[in-house]
Amino acid sequence: MADAALTQASEGPQRIDDSPGASATGVKDAIFHGLCFTAAMVLMATLLGLLISLAVGGWPAFSHFGLQFFTSSEWNPSGTEDHPEFYGAAGPIVGTLITALVAMVIALPLAIGIAVFLVEFCPKSIERWVAIAVELLAGIPSIVYGMWGLFVLAPWFEEHVMTPLRLIAADHPGSFADHLMTGASSGSNIFTASIILAIMVLPFIATVFRELLLSVPSHVREASYGMGCTPFEVVSSIMLPYIRKSAVGAAMLGLGRALGETMAVTFIIGNSHAFPKGVFDSGSTIASTIANEFAEATGDLHTSALIALGLVLFVITFVVLAAARLLLGQEKH
């Protein structure tokens, strides 16, 4: 767009540039262009380098364990003879997927609700403040979420949700409460980790949804109101279907964020490699496993297993994000 105008216009100056005095400008321009190009290439090289280093570093683990890397949940860094070193990543992979999905189940309805509220129902006087509040929520660094989860949410959950449920489960074996509490460990578990993730992802999706709703042409909205639709019907039958494709894309962006979150989850998920036995059991995610173990993975196989985990995470988030971008089209932060 900009380029077309420039190239057209510069056909004139280029002829002027043929003169000796102007060639210095041409060189300067070429250098500037070169610098910009180099920067862009550095960026591209960084991403490709990341991918390559993950693949190269993770290859030994993949070739050593094959498909079992994905299906086994045995994670045994000790290298004794009776219990040889083994790294099966099913636990962290499942943990990553479960926490992200549960987080989305919690966050998506809330995010849609917030976006609709802001667009349709919010009184103009407080609209700006509510929008700022949602943005603030998005801006809180993930480690603060981790701190809050560890020191506030987990103990609260332990005391006010799990202990009563434990008592009920003990008195009524076989009931729903009993099933809920299978494998329950402490307030640091998969469910609370999902709650934290949901709160983290929520403002992000809400903001994008709000922009999408605002992008619905006003004549479409007004026409439906004109026909006597209630706001609920306008939103559910007209506006949401209108933005459906982009909405799914926005949701997937949120999912991508939830999949890769590290610090908030590491503090509160309980760090257990085994396959989670229940929704209140502790577990681990790929990111939390790498964060916990990488600094001291001594064996080469252990390090390689962790990098292989990283590659798996990269592939999962890449697929989700690529799909999201496709659905969202060009724009939208």
Partner 1 sequence: MFRKFAITLGAATMLASAAHADTITGAGATFPNPIYSAWAKDYKAATGNELNYQSIGSGGGIKNIKAKTVDFGASDKPLLPNALNDAGLMQFPTVIGGIVPIVNIPGVNPAQLKLTGVVLGDIFLGKVKRWDDPEITKLNPGWKAPALPITVVHRSDGSGTSFVFTSYLSLTSPAWSRAVGANDSVNWPTGLGGKGNDGVAAFVKQTPGAIGYVEYIYAQKDKVAYTLVQNSAGLFPMPDPVAFAAAAAKAPWGRAPGNYVLLVDQAGPKSWPITAATFILMYKNQDNAAKGANVLKFFDWAYKTGDATASKLDYVPLPLAVKNLIRKQWLQITAGGKPVYVSK
Partner 2 sequence: MATTENSPANTLPGRTVDRYARRKVINYIFIALTSVATAIAITALVMILYSLVAKGFSGLNLTVFTVDTPAGGEDLGSGGLRNAIVGSLLMCAMGMVLALAIGIMAGTWLAEYGDGNKLATAVRFLNDVLLSAPSILIGLFAYELFVVPFHGGSAIAGAIALAIVTTPVVTRTTEDILRLQSNQLREAGVALGAGKGLVIRSIIWRASRTGLVTGGLLGFARMSGETAPLLFTTAGNQFFSMNVTQPIASLPYTIANFALSADDNWRRLAWVASLLIAIAVLSANIIGRQLARGSQHK
Note the residues at the interface with partner 1 (CB under 8 A).
74-80, 82-83, 86, 154-155, 158, 163, 166, 170, 184-188, 270-274, 282, 292-293, 295-298
CB of 163: closest distance to partner 2 in angstroms? 21
Q: 319 is in the binding site of which of partner 2, partner 1, none (Cβ under 5 to 8 A by kind)? A: none
Interface with partner 2, residue 10, by CB under 8 A: yes
Least distance from partner 2 to the Cβ atom of residue 223, Å: 16
Beta bridge partners of 270: 283
**Residue 75's binding partner, choosing from partner 1, partner 2, none, with beta-carbon cut-off 5 to 8 A by kind?**
partner 1
Residue 142 or 185 with smaller CB distance to partner 1: 185
| Closer CB to partner 2, 42 or 167, in the complex | 42
Instruction: State the sign of the Cα–Cα–Cα–Cα dihedral 239, 243, 245, 248.
Output: negative
What angle do helix axes 244-260 and 190-214 make, rounded to 10 degrees?
Answer: 150
Binding at 297: pick from partner 1, partner 2, none (beta carbon under 5-8 Å per type): partner 1
Tokens standing for residue 261: 């979150």
User: Any residues with CB less than 8 A from the CB of 293 and at least 6 apart, and which?
Assistant: 77, 302, 306
Instruction: Rule CB under 8 A: say whether 268 interacts with partner 2.
Output: no
Does position 33 interact with partner 2 (CB under 8 A)? The reply is: yes
Place of tokens 């006597």: 228
User: Residue 224 or residue 272: which is nearer to partner 1 going by CB?
Assistant: 272
DSSP string, 23-64: HHHHHHHHHHHHHHHHHHHHHHHHHHHHHHHHHHHHHHHHHH
Angle between helices 90-116 and 300-328 (to 10 degrees): 30
62 lies in the binding site for partner 2 (CB under 8 A): no
